[in-house]
Amino acid sequence: MKSSPSNCIYNSTCLYKEKECKEDGSSNVRGGTFCSTLIKIQNNEILIGDMDCMFDQETTKPCKNQSRCQMKLTRKNDSYLHCCCDQSFCNRNFIIQKWSDIETKADHKTKANSLVDQLKSHWIFLLMILIGIIAFLILVLFIYRNCLTRSKKILGIFTLKTKHTNEFIEEKQKILEEPIDDRKISFNEIQLGDLIKEGRFAMVYRGFYQQTPIAIKILSDSSINNEGKKLFLNEKQIYSLPFMNHQNLLKYYGYSMDMNKYYLLIELSFNGSLRDVLRSRMLNDENELIFLCKEISNGLAYLHHDFPSIKASHPPIAHRDLKSDNILYVNNERVVLCDFAMSLKLDQNQNYPNEQQQIGTPRYMSPELLSGIIGYETSALLKCDVYALGIIFWEILSRFQDQTVTEYELPFESQLRQRGFSLNPSINEMFQIISLEQPNNRPLTKKFWKENSKLNKICSTMEECWDQYPEGRISAALVASRMQQFI
């Protein structure tokens, strides 16, 4: 058998040489020996490659009894065509199908792969759009939930559009009044009585105004020309703000001056302060405990709230010296916040770098106040009040029915005694106490507080109030809202 090797361009003049393809018994070839032709498709032309002998290792190739070579695409590369036959010089007579058919077959796999790639790209693109939509919906849901939670915390009990707030305002407060005038009262209209209490800068007397029993706060002589006068005038200014007439804020009648003395005319509490009551007796029952927590939190939430008005405004007010001594147990229906000498009205979007002094009573001061690193933003001072509210809740809980308690104990008293500190601690001593490891860095709680469902709720709220970090504390409005749920 002879083959015709050549290397030329189809339709051009080709030179052929003969080559004998031997078939002898020594061959290990299983399939046989044949003539073959290999051509390549390049730039829309056919390049004739090898015309040679082929020793086929496969017995299934359709090469036998073929006088002409029928071109077929190779398995490994679609750019090459190959044929084989078993007659002498048969590989010269190769047959090629229509060029379009060959092109179609050659490109079929490429086009199929391209289509698959396009489909993959489309699916990936659609998948990315779907993921983006889902991420956007999750973001919107998160923002909505966050805004809803914030609105409940800050405005929950004061938004006039809610049923709960309407009840709260109707039953507990008379607001939306006209701005309070200067309320200067002639000293001749005042009747001064017995001394009730004496403090560092002022003394409090019983008295009468228009036949009404009142308390009269008088600036001491030694305080007229120093810090005492500033505090006295600041308290007068706070009381004179609009919308200060509230169920849980001490009622203010006015002020008077006589012989260089300053007088504040305020509501009289026959039961004294909350500390006086807690020191004198245990709480009567669970209802009294809830009543106290509700009244105090309502007053602080109102004080912290911003009441914008066309005629006048009531910005948030930070008390800055909230403690059981500055809460009056007026009667079985009212408990009020008082003593606003250190209070500060907070206009929104303003910082108060000059008002971050360590003001207050160390026992009730928050960790950031004790360490002197309180922030300048408006909410920072309000968070300090909330911390003090948590300490006051502990005082109230500590006087609930418990057979093991017989004497009143101030917050942190046991920790102060153990370390030999003063029971009227300094800022440095209190900072050392609140820096202790838990649970000794806070007033110690009782086990049975957690076992009673209502007490447990108050206890949990208390712990959220005195969180170590300001951002971890809840708002006074949220505390008041929770206490309202006990009704």
The string of DSSP codes covering 144-158 is: HHHHHHHHHHHHTTT
Tell me the per-residue pLDDT of 251-298, one tens digit each, with 9 for 90 and over: 999 999 887 788 999 999 989 999 999 999 999 889 999 999 999 999
Positive/negative CA dihedral, 6, 8, 9, 14: negative
Residue range of the domain that includes 19 = 2-96
The whole-angstrom separation of Cα 369 and Cα 333 is: 34
Residue 342, domain member (yes or no): yes
Residue 116 lies in a domain: no
Q: Which of helix, strand or coil describes residue 460?
A: helix
Q: Where are the alpha helices (H) located in 210-309, listed in sequence order?
A: 227-239, 274-280, 286-304
Which pLDDT belongs to residue 148?
56
pLDDT at 155: 42
Q: Which of 291, 216, 284, 309 is nearest to 247 (CA)?
A: 291
Say if strands 69-70 and 94-95 run parallel, antiparallel, or are unpaired. Answer: parallel
Contact indicator for 328, 336 with CB cutoff of 8 Å: yes
Backbone angles phi, psi at 240, to 5 degrees: -85, -5
Question: Domain end: 70, 96, 122, which one?
Answer: 96
| 351-402 pLDDT, tens digit each | 544 555 678 899 999 999 999 888 767 788 999 999 999 999 999 999 987 6
At 343 the pLDDT is 93
Q: Please tell me what DSSP assigns to residue 30.
A: S
Residue 319 inside a domain? The answer is: yes
Q: Is 402 within the bounds of a domain? A: yes
Residue 424 lies in a domain: yes
pLDDT score for 91: 79
C-alpha to C-alpha distances, 293 to 248, 252, 318, 321, 482, nearest whole angstrom = 12, 23, 19, 18, 10
The total number of structural domains in the chain stands at 2
What is the DSSP secondary structure assignment for residue 184, as one 8-state letter? B
The predicted model scores a pTM of 0.63
Question: CA 48, CA 102: separation in Å to the nearest integer?
Answer: 15
- Considering the domain boundaries, does residue 211 fall inside one? no
d(CA 303, CA 409): 28
Q: Which two tokens stand for residue 326?
A: 């500055």
Domain stop point among 54, 73, 96: 96
Q: How many helices (H) and strands (E) does the chain have?
A: 12, 18
Cβ–Cβ under 8 Å, residues 210 and 189: yes
- As to burial, measured by CB atoms within 10 angstroms (0-12 exposed, 13-18 middle, 19+ buried), residue 234 is middle
Distance from C-alpha of 365 to C-alpha of 375, rounded to nearest angstrom: 14
The confidence score (pLDDT) of residue 102 equals 55
* CATH number of the domain to which 421 belongs: 1.10.510.10
Q: Is residue 194 part of a domain?
A: no
Q: Exposed, middle or buried: residue 146 (CB in 10 Å: 0-12, 13-18, 19+)? A: exposed
Q: Are 147 and 471 in contact (CB under 8 A)?
A: no
Omega before 308 within 30 of 0, i.e. cis = no
Q: Which regions in the chain score pLDDT beneath 70? A: 1-18, 22-31, 56-61, 75-78, 97-114, 146-182, 220-225, 309-313, 348-357, 376, 402-406, 487
Q: Among 71, 96, 121, where does a domain finish? A: 96
